[in-house]
Amino acid sequence: MQIVKEEGPITGEQIAERLHLTRATLRPDLSILTMSGYLDARPRVGYFYAGKKANSVISERLHKLLVNDYKALPIVVQESASAYDATVTLFLEDVGTLFVVNQKGLLVGVVSRKDLLRAAIGNKALEEMPVSIIMSRMPNIITCLPGESLYSAAKKLIDFQIDSLPVVRESEQDPRQFELLGRITKTTIAKAFVELGEESEV
């Protein structure tokens, strides 16, 4: 490691020479260091220090988890529903965010517990208020794709300070509109975090 750090890129033969070992003796060690991500190897160039620690194992793993494998079912309300209907659905389904869809089932908005609480402490009756007035509306909605990494989805939740992301695909009829495939929430991320922590116990 020291040799590679100071002199890399350096070939396996040169390292063996420096250590007074044969190439063959050294080979398994170099494989392990390469597999563990401490060293990187390029053909005809040699070994170089990858600057990686155990952390990179974690990071790489997180980047491989896919939204599609973690998404939960999306809970929806029609855009014609009232804010009261939406609140009832929120409690019945025990979620923090609802996706609002049009008659074709395409995503038109997102309404959260926070939006509904804000409406409820205002003085209007929720029964007479259409959910479409208080929802966040397309295209101002942050979405994610099924093939996206869970890391990327988590970063959107944090960066945009939201609790839930709709998982979408472009509508075949109109690529500016989205079909709903699922949801990724902070709960999804916390569950994935717990699963990662449990893996060694298997």
**Residue 107 in contact with residue 61, Cβ under 8 Å?**
no
Q: Binders of its own copies among 165-194, rule CB under 8 A?
A: 186-187, 189-194
Binding of its own copies at residue 124 (CB under 8 A)?
A: no
- Kindly give the pairing relationship between strand 97-101 and strand 136-137: unpaired
**Which of 18, 27, 54, 93 touches its own copies by CB under 8 A?**
54
Contacts of 107 (CB under 8 A, 6+ apart): 99, 100, 101, 138, 141, 143, 166, 168, 177, 178, 179, 180
Give min distance, CB of 153 to its own copies, in A.
9
Q: Is the peptide bond before 43 cis (omega within 30 degrees of 0)?
A: no
Give min distance, CB of 143 to its own copies, in A.
17
Which stretch in 6-14, 30-38, 66-74, 130-138 sits in contact with its own copies by CB under 8 A? 30-38
DSSP 8-state symbol, 149: B
HSE at residue 12, side-chain half, CA atoms within 13 A, is 18
Residue 129 or 138 with smaller CB distance to its own copies:
129
Binding of its own copies at residue 160 (CB under 8 A)?
A: no
Q: Quick check: helix, strand or coil at residue 101?
A: strand
Binding site for its own copies (CB under 8 A): 21, 25, 28-29, 32-33, 36, 52, 54-63, 84, 87, 90-91, 94, 96, 113-114, 116-118, 120-121, 126, 149, 151, 154-155, 157-158, 161, 163, 186-187, 189-194, 196-202
